[in-house]
Amino acid sequence: MAYKILAINPGSTSTKIAVYTDDHPDFTLSIDHAPEDLAQFASVVEQYNWRKDLIETALADNGINIRDFSAIIGRGGIVSPIESGVYEVNDDLVYDLQRARMQHASNLGGLIARDIADEIGVKAYIADPVVVDEMMPYARISGLPELPRESVFHALNQKAVARLFAKENGKNYEDLNLIVCHMGGGCTVSAHRRGRVVDTTNALDGCGPFSPERSGSLPPGPLIHLCFSGKYTEEELIKKVHGAGGLVAHLGTTSVPEVLDRIQNHDLHAMLVLRAMCYTICKEIGSMAVAMKGDVDAILLTGGIAHSKRVTDFIADHVAYIAPIYVYPGENELRALAGNALAVLRGERIPKEYKREAYDDPSQINNVERPSKLRDALLGIINPQANAKPLSAIRQYLRKWSKTRK
């Protein structure tokens, strides 16, 4: 039986849709949104009906009957942190998408998918939203309890590329240790350990490498001084971190091909800044190798910037000693969405249930009256199972060090 799937990917300036029959793309379209059209809406949620109408009109204009679809899948939004996987759009998920803690067009993906699915009597799904959170407990702690590290990254494309690499090499994603680097308008670098992203950079909040439009991690002292300098409003400073930082702050453009052309014409400043961006990516790849204790099967470079051999060669020159490097240029989030829906329809993947959860406050971890997944994870480390290794690497190191001190 062939399955027909509609994939929906709302972005900040466009809404992309694709129709797949099984894993074959029948129709793709990017509906671009002019700034003046978006300006009529005070919030992303208010764009809901307008974007949905655009999608349904585009399908009808191209002779596509929505009642032929077996499932609808949308890009997931900024909801509660969840494990990787495919989620049916239930009432809890709809509630959180409508009241998302951050305005982002991806919040509309699941909402539009659910509405169309309800109309035709099929299931609606999301898959691997940017808030996929599988981080190690201690990877969440920063130097200030008020500012925990959060998992916000290009989960959909990273997971899809990682699974593709595993398939091409005749292995299971869950058996590999991979470092995946997505390089686009924002850049995220993640440690995929046996199918789980145990640590990652957060491009949305400006952490990690800088990119064409994001600042990356900044020196905290000077940043605080800048905040209180009186030169900028809070909104302007947030824009510097996300939207007006990185390449565009230095060179006035977010286009890597344009920067490469300038380098070809002997613009040494452009060359210096691009190399600096690539260098920050290399350092994050190195830190993710630490997250996996140096046991890395491969480094995967993906995203639009990965089309540039100058960029990928620079990165390879710095990190090839860690593991072999494979390049998957570009991104195809619609294909990844459709592939996830198809896996559910074929029974190859079981959809997960989304549940709203309260923030697991690390400072309250000793309060046994509060439920805590974090407490359970740490207790498992303190009291390992009987078949656990009797001597960890850190204990071996301490024992060796103590002997040299005698």
Output the CA torsion sign for 387, 379, 128, 213: negative
pLDDT for residue 168 is more than 90: yes
Q: Look at the pTM and tell me if it is higher than 0.85.
A: no
> Within the chain, how many helices (H) and strands (E) appear?
14, 11
pLDDT for residue 391 is more than 50: no
Give the single-character DSSP code of 299: E
Residue 152: band (very low, low, confident or very high) from pLDDT cuts 50, 70, 90: confident
Arithmetic mean of pLDDT over the chain: 89
pLDDT for residue 357 is more than 80: no
Residues in contact with 332: Cβ distance below 8 Å, sequence separation at least 6, in sequence order: 157, 160
Cα 342 to chain centroid distance, Å, stands at 21
* pLDDT value at residue 388: 53
Give yes or no for a contact between 202 and 149, defined as CB atoms under 8 angstroms apart: yes
**β-pairing verdict for 14-21 and 71-75:** unpaired
pLDDT for residue 52 is more than 90: yes
pLDDT for residue 396 is more than 70: no
Give yes or no for a contact between 99 and 363, defined as CB atoms under 8 angstroms apart: no
- Single out the residue of 331, 297, 373, 281 nearest to residue 128, CA to CA: 331
Residue 399: band (very low, low, confident or very high) from pLDDT cuts 50, 70, 90: very low
* pLDDT value at residue 178: 98
pLDDT for residue 381 is more than 90: no
**Per-residue pLDDT tens digits for 177-187:** 999 999 988 89
Highest mean pLDDT among 128-132, 250-254, 398-402: 250-254
- Residue ranges of the alpha helices (H) in 252-332? 256-264, 268-291, 309-319
**Per-residue pLDDT tens digits for 114-125:** 999 999 999 999
- Locate 275 and state its tokens: 């190399």
Q: Please, what is the Cα angle at 126 between 121 and 129, to 5 degrees?
A: 170
Residues in contact with 368: Cβ distance below 8 Å, sequence separation at least 6, in sequence order: 375
Higher pLDDT, 101 or 312: 312
- Locate 240 and state its tokens: 């510097």
Read off the pLDDT of each residue in 374-393 and give the average, rounded to a whole number: 64
* pLDDT value at residue 88: 96
* pLDDT value at residue 386: 56
Higher pLDDT, 289 or 360: 289
pLDDT for residue 22 is more than 70: yes
**Per-residue pLDDT tens digits for 174-226:** 999 999 999 988 899 999 999 999 999 997 777 899 999 899 999 999 999 99
- Residue ranges of the alpha helices (H) in 99-179? 107-120, 155-168
Three-state DSSP at 241 gives helix
For the ranges 87-91, 325-329, 336-340, 392-396, the lowest mean pLDDT is seen at: 392-396
Helix (H) or strand (E) holding 247: helix 247-251
* pLDDT value at residue 220: 93
**Per-residue pLDDT tens digits for 9-19:** 998 778 999 99
* pLDDT value at residue 398: 55
* Domains delineated in the chain: 1-137+332-357 (3.30.420.40), 155-330 (3.30.420.40), 362-405 (no CATH)
DSSP secondary structure string, 50-113? HHHHHHHHHHHHTT--GGG-SEEEEE--S-S-B-SSEEE--HHHHHHHHT-SS--TTHHHHHHH
**Per-residue pLDDT tens digits for 300-356:** 999 989 999 999 999 999 999 999 999 999 878 899 999 999 999 999 999 999 987
* pLDDT value at residue 209: 96
Round to whole Å and give the CA distance between 180 and 154: 10
Percent of the chain at pLDDT exceeding 90: 67
